[in-house]
């Protein structure tokens, strides 16, 4: 399994809405993520900056490149774009993070 980490930016004042939307994660999106091989997916919030830190495990990281083509993923991004920094295609601005330490 590979660990993948990234950061995103939440708009100020949208913390509760972001959490609410994720607590009601669409079943078809959850199924897509699982079918892609994603597990142990967590997103953490730095409440002082609004930075979101995501980490997940995936058997084949190249499978992440397929997600943008799925309609449910595109629909989710459109749903989330009003509360976080997003690209012109509605995908969240996501900055990959390099692992510098791991204690198994």
Burial of residue 75, with CB atoms counted within 10 A of its CB: 0-12 exposed, 13-18 middle, 19 or more buried:
middle
Q: Can you tell me the distance from the alpha carbon of 43 to that of 3, in angstroms, rounded to the nearest whole number?
A: 13
Which tokens in the block code for residue 62?
A: 């190249």
Q: Average pLDDT for residues 3-32, to the nearest whole number?
A: 98
Determine the average pLDDT of the residues in 18-46.
Answer: 98
Check residue 55 and give its pLDDT.
98
| Residue 52 burial (10 A CB sphere; 0-12, 13-18, 19+) | buried
Confidence at residue 29, expressed as pLDDT on a 0 to 100 scale? 98
Helix axes 71-80, 27-35, angle to 10 degrees: 120
- The CATH T-level fold of domain 2-97 is Alpha-Beta Plaits (3.30.70)
Q: Please report the pLDDT score of residue 62 as a whole number.
A: 95
Annotation says 70 is catalytic: no
d(CA 69, CA 1): 23
Which of the following is catalytic: 2, 11, 22, 70?
22
Backbone angles phi, psi at 92, to 5 degrees: -70, 145
Q: What percent of the chain has pLDDT over 70?
A: 100
Could you report the per-residue pLDDT of 64-89, keeping only the tens digit for each?
999 999 999 999 999 999 999 999 99
The confidence score (pLDDT) of residue 77 equals: 98
């Amino acid at each position: 399994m590979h660990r993948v980490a990234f950061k995103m930016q939440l708009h100020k004042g949208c913390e509760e809405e972001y959490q609410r939307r994720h607590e009601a994660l669409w079943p078809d999106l959850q199924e897509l993520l699982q079918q892609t091989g994603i597990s142990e997916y967590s997103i953490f919030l730095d409440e002082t900056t609004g930075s979101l830190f995501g980490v997940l495990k995936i058997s084949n990281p190249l499978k992440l490149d397929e997600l943008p083509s799925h309609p449910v993923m595109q629909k989710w991004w459109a749903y989330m774009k009003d509360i976080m920094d997003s690209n012109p295609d509605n995908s969240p601005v996501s900055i990959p993070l390099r692992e510098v330490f791991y204690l198994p």
